[in-house]
Structures are given as structure tokens and as C-alpha cells.
Amino acid sequence: MKFVVCENYDDMSKKGADIIADLIKKKPDAILGLATGNSPLGLYSELAAKYAAGKINFSKVQTFNLDEYYKIKQADPQSYYFFMHENFFSKVNIASKNIDIPFGDADDAVEESKRYHDKIAASKGIDIQLLGIGNNGHIGFNEPDDALSACTHNVLLTESTIEANSRYFKSADEVPKEALTMGIGEIMSARQILLLISGKSKAAVAKTLTDNFVTTQIPASFLKLHQNVTVLIDKDAASEMKIK
């Protein structure tokens, strides 16, 4: 893992957007794995600004999102579908046929997970997977557990994630209890991984990434086994780490 300590959230967002913009310049039909949450919001704004300034063209780009609540309708303002359109897709020229997000309102979660997995597997492969990290070490919605799933699947959210994500809802009761998420295998099969970590509240989990072991109790620890991971981390989040 390559750790890049950033001055603050804005610096992290700019550096992340530069990495993605450079990739798209080199490979206009790049496949991006995208994430939701506060961590990538600034990066999305930076990319939208580059697009508005004519510095980047997304017309051939394809995207797969990491995860979605289950069950939730796309039009629900809390859905990740809504988040992505509001904060990114509506601001750039990615063709809607090139966008895929697990369908949170599918009748059958197993079938929808299989559809999503098959589509990723049939693609030319995710070039860069953007990730945030949960306070409990989750990536996507791969929650700490005795075993982790390789492929897209339906998960029960942990109390800690429901609590953490309740900041976006009126109350914790309104947070969906389940989600659909890419599995660890699909995340690890991306050619490059870009993990964004920001803020004091992530300092404890960030510190675990420098330990020399992997554990299913910290799903993000599996990223240590990937050959091409860049961690953009701001000073607050890096405050408990000893980066050599």
C-alpha cells in the first residue's frame, strides 16, 4: 500500500481527482469503480470542475458503483443511485447506458447480485476502484464477519454502520437494514485501488492498515494483498499512524 499524507480534505480530493483524470486521459474508455459517502464527495466536485473546464471527457467512460441499500427505490433521496446522480453523474458526460449501480429495489436480491457480478465479470475489468472506509473497517458494505464474500451479495448491516450512516437519515430507524455490495473478490480484481481516508474519526481504523496481518474482522485489511493500492489520507486521519 502506498500512503500519501494529504494536508486536508481538499488536498486529498484534488490529488484523487488528478489520479482519475490522468487515467481517463490515457484510457478514455476506462472503467471506474465508484463509491458513495462523504470521502469521495470533494473528488467528484473536482472531477466535475475539470469537465466544466473542458479538461476531461467522460463520454466513453463506464462505471460500476460499489454498493446500494436494500431495499430502496432509486428516486429515494437516500439511495446511492440518487447520491451519484446528484453529486456526479448529472455534472459530467457519462452516458447513462454506461452507468451501473446495484438495483436496490430488485425483488430478488440473489438474482440482482448475480446480474451485477456477471456484468462486472463480462467487462474488460475495473481500471480503478475508488473506496472509502467505514469506522469498523468495512469497504463497500463488506462488514466485519467470520467470513467475507468474494462476489456481489446481499448483506445485513451491522449496528455500527447503521449508527454511522444514520447521520444522513432522520433517525437510525430509517436506515435500511440491508444492502447489496460488491464482494471482496470484485474489489480486489480492480487493476488499481484508490482509498480515501479523512478525519479524526477514521484515525483508529486507518492505523490498523499499517499492521502486518489481514483479518475478516477488518475487511479493508485485505487491500494489503493488492499490488496497486494508493491510500490518500489527510493529516487528521493519519494522526495515529506511523508511516515509514
Catalytic residues: 67, 136, 138, 143
CB 118 → ligand GLP: shortest distance, Å?
22
Q: How far apart are CA 139 and CA 136, in angstroms?
A: 9
Q: For ligand GLP, give the closer residue by CB, 38 or 215.
A: 38
Question: Over the Cα atoms of the chain, what is R_g?
Answer: 17
Question: Among residues 12, 35, 72, 229, which is the contact residue for ligand GLP, using CB under 6 A?
Answer: 35
Q: How far is the CB of 113 from ligand GLP (least distance, A)?
A: 15
Provide the angle, in degrees to the nearest 10, between the axes of the packed helices 9-26 and 41-52.
50
CB of 5 to ligand GLP, least distance (A): 18
- Nearer to ligand GLP by Cβ, of 57 and 74: the residue is 74
Of residues 129-158, those binding ligand GLP (CB under 6 A): 132-134, 140-141
Q: Is 39 in the site for ligand GLP (CB under 6 A)?
A: yes
Judged by CB under 6 A, does residue 8 bind ligand GLP? no
Establish if 219 lies at the interface with ligand GLP (CB under 6 A). Answer: no
- Report the SS3 class of residue 65: strand
Which residue among 36, 62, 65, 221 contacts ligand GLP (CB under 6 A)? Answer: 36
Instruction: Give, in order, the Cα–Cα distances in Å from 69 to each of 47, 52, 124, 153.
Output: 25, 31, 26, 12
CA distance 89 to 94: 7
Q: How many residues bind ligand GLP (CB under 6 A)?
A: 14
The answer to the question of residue 66 lying near ligand GLP (CB under 6 A) is: yes
Under rule CB under 6 A, residue 183 binds ligand GLP: no
- Least separation in angstroms between CB 1 and ligand GLP: 17
Number of C-beta neighbours around residue 123 at 10 A: 12
Position of minimal CB gap to ligand GLP: 132
Cα–Cα dist 179/195, whole Å: 21
- Say which residues have a Cβ less than 8 Å from residue 166's Cβ, sequence separation at least 6: 172, 174, 175
Q: Does 161 bind ligand GLP (CB under 6 A)?
A: yes
85 near 48, Cβ under 8 Å? no
- Per-residue H/E/C for 107-153: CCHHHHHHHHHHHHHHCCCCCEEEECCCCCCCECCECCCCCCCCCCE
Closest approach, Cβ 55 to ligand GLP, in A, equals 25
Residue 38 touching ligand GLP (CB under 6 A): yes
**Chain residues that interact with ligand GLP, rule: CB under 6 A:** 35-39, 66-67, 132-134, 140-141, 161, 165
